[in-house]
Amino acid sequence: MELTFLGTSCMVPTKERNAQAIFLSYKNEGILIDCGEGTQRQMNIAGIKRTSITKILITHWHGDHVSGLIGLIQTLGNVENPPTIHLYGPKGTKEHTGHLMKCCKFDARANIKVHELNPKDIHTFYEDNDFMLQCASLRHSVPCLGYSFVEKDQRKINMAKAEKLGLKSGPLIGKLQDGQEVVFKGETIKPNQVSYTVKGKKVTFILDTVFCTNTIKQAENSDVLVIETCYASDLEEKAEQYKHMTTKQAAFIATKANAKEMICTHFSQRYKITKPLEDDAKTYFPNSRCAFDFMKVKV
């Protein structure tokens, strides 16, 4: 699993920071979290193929989080076999997407399947054999969601132990890896005899919100918590006014949620460099760092 930060600015882009977007790659999945203005170009620079996108998760419909969508959709349709893209977002997403598709003229060949989410609590809205996607409602000036990517625990075969029992690669090993008992030469072999469990990773994205209970619930036991720190801790009043958070508030969430690492993003343009924000965050949560455009993080 790898994260690429394509934009780390707040509403106004700067020379160093583009509008908000993050790309998560996992096996055959490419998940784009928000799509601010200029996201396509950022993907080009980062070496990420736009056709690798399988899902788009929209946190909310403020322009700095979605203004790159229409160009991206047009580009995704400009290939021989246009892909099917699943787009998820908060209440109002179907209406907003409909308006977006009518705002300019082009042949909309990409198949965009829109899913509107309105969770009452932590809600799993997608699941397959490898991972789950979860969301929760946050508190911003418009409907807003936090998202978590939750990798499922994986069973790994200890081939040395398996070979001692006479087992080699094949269907029986596959069944054991799926957690099933098998019979080999008249003996029942249980999965735990030849395998071990690797705990899955959890990555949480909390953007554009004031502190609320769901921020802690969403971030609980995250290996990586990506969270907005629009302001340093001395501007809590301004953060409350504009429905954002400070480094201190984000660190409180990370601590209470038992997160392993906190990565700060979505910085106000008032900060020419992010070192003061990073230093501030480390005061309250030592395993913190500030993201920067094109930063890659292996999870």
Active site residues: 64
Beta bridge mates, 210: 139
With 0-12 / 13-18 / 19 or more C-beta atoms within 10 angstroms meaning exposed / middle / buried, residue 138 is buried
CB half-sphere exposure, 127, CA atoms < 13 A: 6
Task: Judge contact between 95 and 143, C-beta under 8 A.
Answer: no
Beta bridge mates, 113: 86
State which H helix or E strand residue 273 sits in.
none
Q: How far apart are CA 245 and CA 73, in angstroms?
A: 31
Q: How far apart are CA 47 and CA 68, in angstroms?
A: 18
Q: Which residue, among 261, 160, 256, 147, has the nearest Cα to 209 in the 3D structure?
A: 147
